[in-house]
């Protein structure tokens, strides 16, 4: 009898373990199938499930973005800093966040670190005056444009180049622009016999090269030049539009966009949904507002 009871108990235990094993295996298979489905879809999280849009910028590229010591004029805190960020990019980022019910978080990074940060998911987006070039579109996706920027030059008003009417008049001059921009890579080489110097690491460094006489002129976009004229009244803006002797640029050179991680259509669509309701005049009005509150020291 005792032997029979032992066999019954053993059989019951085996059946119990088998049932548990079957249940566990089924759960694992189900989880595996779900995981395979997610991987196969290639879905990328929006990055703002927590309600916070983390945006990277230089915070040193007025009037697009700059840093300041307080929250005046709507400036927002810079993460891991006691400073605040402001400028066109910050104002636009805030509009996008307000429209989507998100909180804005600004991260300060060097220019060359911006795209790697959005590629790795360290930040959700880059709003930093980036042109929507084909090369960049191979690395990230773009929402926008959120601005259309004309290419111009700046020279000192005491320079012989201050009266230039077209890029031909800049021939032979020494020049530079910011590293990693179409101004340096595509525009300056269009000037005959230009003495192109090493690129500047940042927009302030580019402006300082001109201010100190290191170069005869620099190439940049209209908003940057307009902001520079406030900080440096001894500079003159050279706009060759409609002269017949201007830089040859494509839409991708002057369309300024917001970069997000490749495949993040959720975030891209949310940003485009807001930007599509805005016009070029809306963009220009907001840029004018940014220029009006730009620190002169930037």
| Mean pLDDT across 17-45 | 37
State residue 51 phi and psi, 5-degree precision: 85, 10
9 is written with which tokens?
Answer: 């108990």
Number of H helices, E strands in the chain: 10, 14
**Structure confidence at residue 253 as a pLDDT band (50, 70, 90):** confident
Q: What's the pLDDT score for residue 6?
A: 39
**E strand or H helix at 236, and its extent?**
strand 235-238
How far is the C-alpha of 129 from the C-alpha of 290, rounded, in Å? 13
How far is the C-alpha of 17 from the C-alpha of 258, rounded, in Å? 55
How far is the C-alpha of 93 from the C-alpha of 115, rounded, in Å? 17
Residue 32 has pLDDT above 90, yes or no: no
How far is the C-alpha of 86 from the C-alpha of 91, rounded, in Å? 7
How far is the C-alpha of 203 from the C-alpha of 252, rounded, in Å? 20
Q: What's the pLDDT score for residue 269?
A: 96
Q: What's the pLDDT score for residue 295?
A: 85
pLDDT in tens, 52-93: 999 999 999 999 999 999 999 999 999 999 999 999 999 999
**Structure confidence at residue 228 as a pLDDT band (50, 70, 90):** very high
227 is written with which tokens?
Answer: 């902001």
| Mean pLDDT across 202-225 | 96
Taking the CA atoms of residue 17, residue 20, residue 24 and residue 26 in that order, the dihedral angle to the nearest 10 degrees is 110
pLDDT in tens, 121-140: 999 999 999 999 999 999 99
Check residues 161 and 6 and name the one with the higher pLDDT: 161
How far is the C-alpha of 156 from the C-alpha of 163, rounded, in Å? 10
**Structure confidence at residue 204 as a pLDDT band (50, 70, 90):** very high
Name the E strands within 29-164.
52-57, 60-61, 65-68, 76-77, 84-86, 103-108, 125-131, 141-148, 151-156
Check residues 168 and 4 and name the one with the higher pLDDT: 168
Rounded to the nearest integer, the mean pLDDT of the chain is 87
Q: Poorest-confidence range of 21-25, 127-131, 218-222, 223-227?
A: 21-25
Instruction: List the domains of the chain with CATH numbers.
Output: 52-148+253-292 (3.40.190.10), 151-240 (3.40.190.10)
Contact predicate 187/248, CB 8 Å: no
How far is the C-alpha of 288 from the C-alpha of 68, rounded, in Å? 18
The 3-state DSSP class for residue 61 equals strand
Strands 84-86 and 65-68: antiparallel
Half-sphere exposure of 73 (CA within 13 A, CB side): 20
Residue 15 has pLDDT above 70, yes or no: no
294 is written with which tokens?
Answer: 């730009």
**Structure confidence at residue 264 as a pLDDT band (50, 70, 90):** very high
Half-sphere exposure of 193 (CA within 13 A, CB side): 6
How far is the C-alpha of 202 from the C-alpha of 179, rounded, in Å? 7
Check residues 297 and 165 and name the one with the higher pLDDT: 165
Q: What's the pLDDT score for residue 45?
A: 57
């Amino acid at each position: 009898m005792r032997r029979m009871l032992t066999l019954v108990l053993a059989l019951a235990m085996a059946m119990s373990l088998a049932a548990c094993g079957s249940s566990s295996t089924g759960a694992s298979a189900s989880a595996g199938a779900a995981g395979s489905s997610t991987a196969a879809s290639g879905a990328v999280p929006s990055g703002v499930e927590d309600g916070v849009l983390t945006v990277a910028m230089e915070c040193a590229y007025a009037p697009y973005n700059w840093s300041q010591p307080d929250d005046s004029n709507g400036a927002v805190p810079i993460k891991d800093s006691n400073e605040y960020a402001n400028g066109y990019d910050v104002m636009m980022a805030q509009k996008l966040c307000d429209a989507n019910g998100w909180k804005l978080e600004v991260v300060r990074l060097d220019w060359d670190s911006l795209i790697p940060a959005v590629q790795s998911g360290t930040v959700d987006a880059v709003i930093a005056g980036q042109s929507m070039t084909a090369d960049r579109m191979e690395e990230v996706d773009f929402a926008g444009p959120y601005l259309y920027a004309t290419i111009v030059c700046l020279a000192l008003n005491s320079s012989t180049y201050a009266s230039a009417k077209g890029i031909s008049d800049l021939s032979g001059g020494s020049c530079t622009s910011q590293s990693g921009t179409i101004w340096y890579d595509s525009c300056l080489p269009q000037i005959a016999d230009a003495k192109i110097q090493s690129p500047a690491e940042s927009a302030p460094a580019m402006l300082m090269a001109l201010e100190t006489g290191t170069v005869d002129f620099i190439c940049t976009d209209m908003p940057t030049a307009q902001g520079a004229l406030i900080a440096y009244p001894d500079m003159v803006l050279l706009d060759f539009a409609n002269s017949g002797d201007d830089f040859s640029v494509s839409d991708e050179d002057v369309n300024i966009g917001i970069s997000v991680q490749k495949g993040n259509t959720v975030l891209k669509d949310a940003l485009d949904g807001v930007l599509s309701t805005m016009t070029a005049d809306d963009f220009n009005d907001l840029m004018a507002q940014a220029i009006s509150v730009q620190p002169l020291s930037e």
